[in-house]
Chain A
Amino acid sequence: ETGVTQSPTHLIKTRGQQVTLRCSSQSGHNTVSWYQQALGQGPQFIFQYYREEENGRGNFPPRFSGLQFPNYSSELNVNALELDDSALYLCASSFQDRNYGYTFGSGTRLTVV
Protein backbone atom coordinates (compact mmCIF):
# COMPACT_ATOMS: atom_id res chain seq x y z
CA GLU A 1 0.00 0.00 0.00
CA THR A 2 1.59 3.28 -1.09
CA GLY A 3 1.23 6.41 1.00
CA VAL A 4 0.63 10.00 -0.04
CA THR A 5 3.41 11.38 -2.23
CA GLN A 6 4.05 15.04 -2.98
CA SER A 7 6.28 16.76 -5.50
CA PRO A 8 8.49 18.65 -5.58
CA THR A 9 9.94 18.48 -2.06
CA HIS A 10 11.41 21.97 -2.20
CA LEU A 11 10.74 24.96 -4.43
CA ILE A 12 11.97 28.55 -4.63
CA LYS A 13 9.88 31.10 -6.52
CA THR A 14 9.94 34.83 -7.03
CA ARG A 15 7.16 37.10 -5.81
CA GLY A 16 4.45 37.44 -8.46
CA GLN A 17 5.13 34.09 -10.07
CA GLN A 18 2.78 31.12 -10.22
CA VAL A 19 3.42 27.66 -8.78
CA THR A 20 1.88 24.20 -9.11
CA LEU A 21 2.28 21.56 -6.42
CA ARG A 22 1.32 17.92 -6.96
CA CYS A 23 -0.04 15.15 -4.80
CA SER A 24 -0.75 11.46 -5.35
CA SER A 25 -3.32 10.01 -2.98
CA GLN A 26 -2.86 6.86 -0.97
CA SER A 27 -4.16 3.83 -2.81
CA GLY A 28 -7.92 3.44 -2.25
CA HIS A 29 -8.44 7.04 -1.11
CA ASN A 30 -10.86 9.24 -3.04
CA THR A 31 -10.64 12.54 -1.17
CA VAL A 32 -7.76 15.02 -1.14
CA SER A 33 -7.21 18.03 1.12
CA TRP A 34 -4.51 20.68 1.07
CA TYR A 35 -3.03 22.53 4.06
CA GLN A 36 -0.57 25.38 4.53
CA GLN A 37 1.78 25.25 7.50
CA ALA A 38 3.80 28.33 8.39
CA LEU A 39 6.89 27.88 10.53
CA GLY A 40 6.00 27.12 14.14
CA GLN A 41 2.27 26.95 13.44
CA GLY A 42 -0.29 24.22 13.01
CA PRO A 43 -1.49 23.46 9.46
CA GLN A 44 -4.30 25.61 8.06
CA PHE A 45 -6.98 24.07 5.82
CA ILE A 46 -6.96 25.40 2.23
CA PHE A 47 -9.54 23.21 0.46
CA GLN A 48 -10.71 19.67 -0.20
CA TYR A 49 -11.60 17.81 -3.39
CA TYR A 50 -13.96 14.86 -3.70
CA ARG A 51 -14.97 13.31 -7.01
CA GLU A 52 -13.04 16.02 -8.85
CA GLU A 53 -15.00 18.87 -7.26
CA GLU A 54 -14.09 21.29 -4.49
CA ASN A 55 -16.35 20.52 -1.53
CA GLY A 56 -14.85 22.60 1.27
CA ARG A 57 -12.63 25.68 1.48
CA GLY A 58 -10.80 27.54 4.22
CA ASN A 59 -10.02 31.26 4.46
CA PHE A 60 -7.71 31.47 1.48
CA PRO A 61 -8.05 33.90 -1.46
CA PRO A 62 -9.11 32.74 -4.95
CA ARG A 63 -5.51 32.82 -6.18
CA PHE A 64 -5.25 29.48 -4.38
CA SER A 65 -6.94 26.95 -6.65
CA GLY A 66 -6.84 23.23 -7.21
CA LEU A 67 -7.74 20.25 -9.30
CA GLN A 68 -8.45 16.61 -8.67
CA PHE A 69 -8.01 14.10 -11.47
CA PRO A 70 -9.92 10.86 -12.19
CA ASN A 71 -7.12 8.85 -10.55
CA TYR A 72 -7.66 10.98 -7.39
CA SER A 73 -4.32 12.75 -7.67
CA SER A 74 -4.42 16.50 -7.15
CA GLU A 75 -2.74 19.81 -7.87
CA LEU A 76 -2.55 23.00 -5.85
CA ASN A 77 -2.00 26.15 -7.89
CA VAL A 78 -1.04 29.48 -6.39
CA ASN A 79 -1.01 32.61 -8.57
CA ALA A 80 0.64 35.96 -7.91
CA LEU A 81 2.88 34.58 -5.18
CA GLU A 82 3.45 36.72 -2.10
CA LEU A 83 6.25 36.51 0.44
CA ASP A 84 3.75 35.27 3.06
CA ASP A 85 3.00 32.25 0.89
CA SER A 86 6.32 30.80 2.01
CA ALA A 87 5.35 27.69 3.97
CA LEU A 88 5.17 23.91 4.02
CA TYR A 89 2.26 22.74 1.87
CA LEU A 90 0.77 19.46 2.96
CA CYS A 91 -1.54 17.17 1.05
CA ALA A 92 -3.79 14.70 2.85
CA SER A 93 -5.95 11.93 1.48
CA SER A 94 -8.80 9.97 2.98
CA PHE A 95 -11.45 7.44 2.08
CA GLN A 96 -15.05 8.60 2.12
CA ASP A 97 -14.22 12.01 3.52
CA ARG A 98 -13.37 12.13 7.20
CA ASN A 99 -14.73 8.87 8.55
CA TYR A 100 -11.41 7.09 8.68
CA GLY A 101 -9.08 9.98 9.35
CA TYR A 102 -6.49 11.48 7.05
CA THR A 103 -3.08 10.36 5.74
CA PHE A 104 -0.60 13.15 5.09
CA GLY A 105 2.27 13.41 2.65
CA SER A 106 5.75 14.73 3.47
CA GLY A 107 4.96 18.17 2.10
CA THR A 108 6.43 20.68 -0.31
CA ARG A 109 8.55 23.46 1.17
CA LEU A 110 7.82 26.64 -0.84
CA THR A 111 10.05 29.67 -0.44
CA VAL A 112 9.01 32.93 -2.08
CA VAL A 113 11.77 35.52 -2.48
Chain B
Amino acid sequence: KQEVTQIPAALSVPEGENLVLNCSFTDSAIYNLQWFRQDPGKGLTSLLLIQSSQREQTSGRLNASLDKSSGRSTLYIAASQPGDSATYLCAVSPGGSSNTGKLIFGQGTTLQVKP
Protein backbone atom coordinates (compact mmCIF):
# COMPACT_ATOMS: atom_id res chain seq x y z
CA LYS B 1 0.00 0.00 0.00
CA GLN B 2 1.41 3.33 -1.08
CA GLU B 3 2.00 5.81 1.73
CA VAL B 4 3.22 9.39 1.39
CA THR B 5 4.97 11.22 4.21
CA GLN B 6 5.97 14.86 4.40
CA ILE B 7 8.57 16.16 6.80
CA PRO B 8 8.55 18.54 8.57
CA ALA B 9 4.88 19.07 9.38
CA ALA B 10 5.53 22.76 9.99
CA LEU B 11 8.34 25.14 9.19
CA SER B 12 8.99 28.77 10.04
CA VAL B 13 11.75 30.73 8.30
CA PRO B 14 12.79 34.37 7.93
CA GLU B 15 12.13 36.09 4.64
CA GLY B 16 14.82 35.57 2.03
CA GLU B 17 15.90 32.15 3.18
CA ASN B 18 16.18 29.21 0.80
CA LEU B 19 14.34 26.12 2.01
CA VAL B 20 13.62 22.49 1.18
CA LEU B 21 10.43 20.56 1.78
CA ASN B 22 10.61 16.79 1.80
CA CYS B 23 8.24 14.12 0.52
CA SER B 24 8.78 10.38 0.72
CA PHE B 25 6.72 7.52 -0.68
CA THR B 26 6.87 3.81 0.05
CA ASP B 27 6.28 2.31 -3.42
CA SER B 28 8.55 3.44 -6.24
CA ALA B 29 6.04 2.32 -8.89
CA ILE B 30 4.54 5.74 -9.48
CA TYR B 31 3.17 7.33 -12.63
CA ASN B 32 3.99 10.88 -11.64
CA LEU B 33 4.27 13.19 -8.64
CA GLN B 34 2.66 16.58 -8.21
CA TRP B 35 3.32 19.39 -5.73
CA PHE B 36 0.44 21.61 -4.65
CA ARG B 37 0.00 24.72 -2.57
CA GLN B 38 -3.04 25.23 -0.33
CA ASP B 39 -3.96 28.48 1.39
CA PRO B 40 -6.09 28.19 4.56
CA GLY B 41 -9.61 26.99 3.78
CA LYS B 42 -8.95 27.09 0.03
CA GLY B 43 -8.48 24.61 -2.79
CA LEU B 44 -5.24 23.27 -4.19
CA THR B 45 -3.04 25.13 -6.65
CA SER B 46 -0.75 22.96 -8.75
CA LEU B 47 2.89 24.02 -8.58
CA LEU B 48 4.89 21.36 -10.41
CA LEU B 49 4.25 17.99 -12.05
CA ILE B 50 7.10 15.51 -12.44
CA GLN B 51 6.59 12.46 -14.64
CA SER B 52 8.18 9.22 -13.46
CA SER B 53 10.82 9.44 -16.21
CA GLN B 54 11.91 12.93 -15.15
CA ARG B 55 14.37 13.97 -12.46
CA GLU B 56 13.28 17.54 -11.84
CA GLN B 57 11.02 20.40 -12.84
CA THR B 58 11.46 24.13 -12.33
CA SER B 59 9.06 27.05 -12.23
CA GLY B 60 10.36 30.44 -11.18
CA ARG B 61 11.75 30.19 -7.66
CA LEU B 62 10.53 26.62 -7.28
CA ASN B 63 12.43 23.47 -8.14
CA ALA B 64 11.13 19.97 -7.53
CA SER B 65 13.27 16.85 -7.79
CA LEU B 66 12.29 13.20 -7.97
CA ASP B 67 14.31 10.13 -7.03
CA LYS B 68 12.02 7.18 -7.65
CA SER B 69 14.49 4.53 -6.55
CA SER B 70 14.79 6.02 -3.08
CA GLY B 71 11.13 7.09 -2.92
CA ARG B 72 11.86 10.76 -2.39
CA SER B 73 10.96 14.14 -3.79
CA THR B 74 12.03 17.57 -2.63
CA LEU B 75 10.57 21.00 -3.27
CA TYR B 76 13.17 23.75 -3.16
CA ILE B 77 11.98 27.32 -2.66
CA ALA B 78 14.54 30.03 -3.32
CA ALA B 79 14.53 33.43 -1.66
CA SER B 80 11.35 32.80 0.32
CA GLN B 81 8.76 35.58 0.66
CA PRO B 82 5.88 36.11 3.13
CA GLY B 83 3.49 35.36 0.23
CA ASP B 84 4.91 31.83 0.12
CA SER B 85 3.25 31.11 3.48
CA ALA B 86 0.84 28.21 2.89
CA THR B 87 0.55 24.45 3.22
CA TYR B 88 2.48 22.48 0.61
CA LEU B 89 1.21 19.05 -0.36
CA CYS B 90 2.84 16.39 -2.46
CA ALA B 91 0.80 13.71 -4.17
CA VAL B 92 1.77 10.61 -6.11
CA SER B 93 -0.21 8.97 -8.87
CA PRO B 94 0.37 5.24 -8.36
CA GLY B 95 1.43 3.11 -11.31
CA GLY B 96 -0.79 0.41 -12.77
CA SER B 97 -4.02 0.61 -14.72
CA SER B 98 -6.13 -0.20 -11.65
CA ASN B 99 -5.08 3.01 -9.93
CA THR B 100 -6.64 5.33 -12.45
CA GLY B 101 -7.46 8.71 -11.10
CA LYS B 102 -6.16 8.19 -7.63
CA LEU B 103 -3.77 10.67 -6.11
CA ILE B 104 -2.25 9.75 -2.75
CA PHE B 105 -1.40 12.78 -0.69
CA GLY B 106 0.93 13.45 2.17
CA GLN B 107 -0.37 15.41 5.13
CA GLY B 108 1.43 18.54 4.04
CA THR B 109 4.05 20.92 5.35
CA THR B 110 2.75 24.23 6.68
CA LEU B 111 5.24 26.97 5.87
CA GLN B 112 5.38 30.36 7.53
CA VAL B 113 7.75 32.97 6.11
CA LYS B 114 8.28 35.84 8.54
CA PRO B 115 8.97 39.36 7.23
Interface residues of A (CB under 8 A from B): 4, 6, 31, 33, 35, 40-45, 47-48, 50, 55-56, 58, 88, 90, 92, 97-98, 100-107, 109
Contacts and interface: CB of A to CB of B under 8 A. Distances in A.
Nearest to B31: A98
Given A41-B107, A42-B89, A42-B108, A58 B46 contact: no
Contacts of B101: 31, 33, 45, 47-48, 50, 55-56, 97-98
Given A45-B102, A48-B100, A107 B43 contact: yes
B66 to A, nearest CB: 14
B41 A56 contact: no
Interface string B81-115: 00000000101010000011111111110000000
B100 A90 contact: no
A22 to B, nearest CB: 14
A36 to B, nearest CB: 11
Interface of B: 4, 31-32, 34, 36, 41-46, 49, 89, 91, 93, 99-108
Contacts of A50: 100-101
B102 to A, nearest CB: 5
A92 B34 CA distance: 13
A56 B103 contact: no
A106 B45 CA distance: 9
A21 B42 CA distance: 16
A67 to B, nearest CB: 15
Contacts of A41: 107
A56 B100 contact: yes
A33 B91 CA distance: 14
Contact of A48 (B42, B89, B102): B102
20 contacts: A4-B43, A33-B103, A41-B107, A42-B4, A42-B91, A42-B105, A42-B106, A42-B107, A45-B102, A55-B101, A56-B102, A90-B44, A97-B100, A98-B103, A101-B32, A101-B49, A102-B34, A102-B46, A104-B46, A107-B43
